Structure 1
Amino acid sequence: MRSRPVPSPCVCVCALDENDICIGCQRSSAEITRWSDMTDDERLEVMKLVAKREEKIAL
């Protein structure tokens, strides 16, 4: 069990692109909205998606 919740990836650059993905943290608007209600497991799944999105923009 984690002693602290999974932290938000927010970097305070809040703007959604044409695909509804934040250009700062790479989360969708739905993921951002739900973040505070998510379990740690759900947050970890979102972080996996964030990593995949970051890989795409790094290419």
Structure 2
Amino acid sequence: MSTEDRPAASMRTPCIKVCIVDGESGLCMGCYRRLNEVAGWSKMTPEARDAVMAELPSRRSLIRPEKLAMFS
């Protein structure tokens, strides 16, 4: 099988299909990425995606808890 015939490897993504941007923080309330990160995700290097993924848990605190409560 040539490399052209192989299916593309799946790309790791934090997307949970809750695409609502918090106006205060500028973050997606589903995955905590910035809009430019969401838009450019497929063009980022694996290392750049890994760096963003490592930051995501700490970004949650940038969104007011009462806003996040709608997704609990």
| TM-score of the aligned structures, taking structure 1 as reference length | 0.78
**1:47 aligns to what?**
53
> Structure 2: which amino acid aligns with 1:42?
A
Calculate percent identity across the aligned residue pairs.
35
Would you say 1:7 and 2:12 are equivalent positions? yes
Structure 1, unaligned runs of 5 or more: none
CA contact (8 A) 1:22 1:28 kept: yes
Kindly provide the amino acid, as one letter, of the partner of residue 47 in structure 2. D
Look up the match of 2:40.
Answer: 34
Report runs of 4+ in structure 1 exceeding 3 Å deviation: none
TM-score between the two structures when normalised by the length of structure 2: 0.65
